[in-house]
Amino acid sequence: MTLSFDLTTDGARDALRARAMPAEKPSLIGLTRAELGAALIASGIVPERQAKMRAQQLWHWMYVRGVSDFAGMFNISKDLRAELDKHFTIARPEIVEEQISSDGTRKWLFRFPPRGAGRPVEIETVYIPEEGRGTLCISSQVGCTLTCSFCHTGTQKLVRNLTAEEILAQLLTARDRLGDFPDRDTPDGAIVPAEGRKVSNVVMMGMGEPLYNFEAVKKALLIASDGDGLSLSKRRITLSTSGVVPEIFRTGEEIGVMLAISLHATNDDLRDLLVPINKKYPLKELIAACRAYPGLSNARRITFEYVMLKDVNDSIEDAKGLIKLLKGIPAKINLIPFNPWPGTNYQCSDWETIEKFADYINNAGYASPIRTPRGRDILAACGQLKSDSERMRKVDRLALEAMMIAGHGEA
Ligand code: SAH
Ligand code: SF4
């Protein structure tokens, strides 16, 4: 059974739109503390000597309490709240649609302003509850410049990078909708972890290559992991890259989150075809960058994602190659059943083949979870979408969702 809240109806939409961000006011979400202080001073509403204290106060309201309206900031005077509201916004983005699967998987379709892209952009965020954890799969770009041959996103052009604010907005809004801030109620019947946070893990495994939007991703993830704010442990944040080698060391050094590599092949000839960035940064360089990843240990392993493509990369020879390639690297291997999309020439490996591959890897001493399909019913339910030129095309959405749900990783 699928519960679908189609927010395209006027009433439902107006209710959320009322809180949605007016484009003309700059948002305070996604600024570093120093930038936040500077913005307050520049606006002339907070004297320089108070800026640090006010920035701290706002930080707490925005990221610990999760308020999306200055009016909720009770320890700030009414006059100052009104001034803040005149100059800035902390509102959430427009939610175009929210869907809930019978297994608890949730999807949100967000709409962000064009910011130079010509028209508003839409992206999806997916929440996957499991025993003991709830994983949020976040996008970093609209589209992707890379052209991995099995990935549907790769057939779309890059529209634009998401800003730090938009990356964080995905987390903040998901937490809003799940009642995952202090003094908020979780919606009736929601499937969430029995204890602790509803969003306990974040994976940058949505649309886009996060390391081609390094600065915004870095800013957003440092705010998401800030101990006086959203306070997600860096060990519960995983960034997935197709292999942008020059940015891998910086990811560990400057962001310090867990790393996942979209490996998918164990020799350069095949990887050149599947993940063409391999031509620029071949396996030897990629594996060397993985070995040098800061903080790597048996307790902090790199996840290697491996999509199972029938008769392409799924033989026992490939499994052997994989073990040989990863020798000596603290690693987890995440086998992803290929999600077909219209027009693709690839097929998913047979279940038996996937199991044999997984057994070989397990016997070599690696945990190799196979991602179980989630949220299948809400994938099907996307047929309800109207064709509206502003909307992400239905086939694009289906393929993206399937990828996000499949690739959500074992963080
Ligand atoms: N661009 C980043 C982040 C995307 S992560 C990256 O490539 O790592 C999502 C994961 O899903 C990646 O490992 C990606 O290779 C994989 N993926 C893409 N298309 C897929 C498909 N059709 N079926 C299964 N997995 C897919
Ligand atoms: Fe881009 Fe990742 Fe898809 Fe490759 S797999 S095209 S890097 S989103």
Residue with tokens 């992400």: 392
User: Would you say 30 is a known binding-site residue?
Assistant: no
Query: Residue 248: is its pLDDT beyond 90?
Result: yes
Is there a contact between 242 and 204 (Cβ–Cβ < 8 Å)? no
Least confident of 16-25, 146-155, 210-219, 369-378: 16-25
Is there a contact between 109 and 124 (Cβ–Cβ < 8 Å)? yes
Amino acid (one-letter) located at 108:
W
Between CA 226 and CA 249 the distance in angstroms is 21
User: Would you say 348 is a known binding-site residue?
Assistant: no
User: Would you say 264 is a known binding-site residue?
Assistant: yes
Q: Is 305 in the pocket of ligand 2 (CB under 6 A)?
A: no
- Name the band, by pLDDT with cuts 50, 70 and 90, for residue 188: confident
Query: Residue 339: is its pLDDT beyond 60?
Result: yes
Q: Is 240 in the pocket of ligand 1 (CB under 6 A)?
A: yes
What pLDDT is recorded for position 369?
A: 72
Between CA 141 and CA 97 the distance in angstroms is 19
Q: DSSP characters for 212-272?
A: GSHHHHHHHHHHHT-TTTT---GGGEEEEES--HHHHHHIIIII--EEEEE---SSHHHHH
Query: Residue 311: is its pLDDT beyond 90?
Result: yes
What pLDDT is recorded for position 341?
A: 82
Candidates 124, 166, 247, 305; catalytic one: 124
Q: Is 154 in the pocket of ligand 2 (CB under 6 A)?
A: yes
What pLDDT is recorded for position 164?
A: 98
H and E: helices and strands count for the chain: 13, 12
Q: Does the pTM of the predicted model rise above 0.75?
A: yes
Residue with tokens 């097929």: 347
Candidates 35, 254, 285, 382; catalytic one: 382
Among residues 220, 199, 217, the alpha carbon closest in space to that of 209 is found at 217
Ligand (nearest to CA of 277)? 2
Please give the DSSP secondary-structure letter assigned to residue 62.
Answer: I
User: pLDDT tens digits for 124-134?
Assistant: 899 999 989 99
- CB contact set of 188 (below 8 Å; sequence gap of 6+): none
Ligand 2 centre distance from Cα of residue 144 (Å): 6
Q: Is 166 a catalytic residue?
A: no
User: Would you say 209 is a known binding-site residue?
Assistant: yes
Q: Which backbone phi and psi does 15 adopt, to 5 degrees?
A: -60, -40
Q: Is 404 in the pocket of ligand 2 (CB under 6 A)?
A: no
User: Would you say 263 is a known binding-site residue?
Assistant: yes
Q: Is 287 in the pocket of ligand 2 (CB under 6 A)?
A: no
Ligand 1 centre distance from Cα of residue 312 (Å): 16
C-alpha neighbours within 13 Å on the C-beta side of residue 259: 34
- Determine the residue of 123, 140, 146, 408 to mutate for testing ligand 2's pocket, defined as the one with the most ligand atoms within 8 A of the Cβ atom: 146
What is the rounded average pLDDT for all residues in the chain?
88
Task: Ligand 1, residue 264: give the atom nearest the CA.
Answer: 15
Ligand 1 centre distance from Cα of residue 112 (Å): 23
Residue 17 in 3-state DSSP? helix
What pLDDT is recorded for position 153?
A: 80
Q: Is 148 in the pocket of ligand 2 (CB under 6 A)?
A: yes
Amino acid (one-letter) located at 399:
A
Between CA 261 and CA 241 the distance in angstroms is 5
Q: Is 305 in the pocket of ligand 1 (CB under 6 A)?
A: yes
| Ligand 1 atom 13, closest CA | 262
CA dihedral 260, 261, 265, 267 (to 10 degrees): -130
User: pLDDT tens digits for 27-72?
Assistant: 999 999 999 999 999 999 999 999 999 999 999 999 999 999 999 9
C-alpha pair distances (Å), 142 with each of 17, 34, 120, 155, 357: 22, 28, 11, 12, 34
Query: Residue 251: is its pLDDT beyond 50?
Result: yes
Among residues 212, 226, 307, 231, the alpha carbon closest in space to that of 266 is found at 307
- CB contact set of 107 (below 8 Å; sequence gap of 6+): 97, 98, 99, 124, 125, 126, 127, 375, 378, 401
Among residues 342, 396, 336, 401, the alpha carbon closest in space to that of 143 is found at 396
User: Would you say 208 is a known binding-site residue?
Assistant: yes
Task: Ligand 2, residue 208: give the atom nearest the CA.
Answer: 8
Task: Ligand 2, residue 152: give the atom nearest the CA.
Answer: 3
Between CA 14 and CA 22 the distance in angstroms is 13
Q: Is 124 a catalytic residue?
A: yes
Q: What percent of the chain has pLDDT over 90?
A: 72
Q: What percent of the chain has pLDDT over 70?
A: 84
Q: How many CB atoms lie under 10 A from the CB of residue 242?
A: 25
Is there a contact between 71 and 81 (Cβ–Cβ < 8 Å)? yes
Write out the H or E segment, with its range, that includes residue 44: none
Q: Is 346 in the pocket of ligand 1 (CB under 6 A)?
A: no
What pLDDT is recorded for position 63?
A: 98
Rounded mean pLDDT, 352-378: 83
Rounded mean pLDDT, 82-107: 94
Task: Ligand 2, residue 145: give the atom nearest the CA.
Answer: 1
Among residues 386, 277, 267, 363, the alpha carbon closest in space to that of 322 is found at 267
Among residues 411, 363, 393, the alpha carbon closest in space to that of 132 is found at 411
Ligand 1 centre distance from Cα of residue 391 (Å): 22
Least confident of 80-89, 144-153, 296-305: 144-153
Q: How many CB atoms lie under 10 A from the CB of residue 291?
A: 12
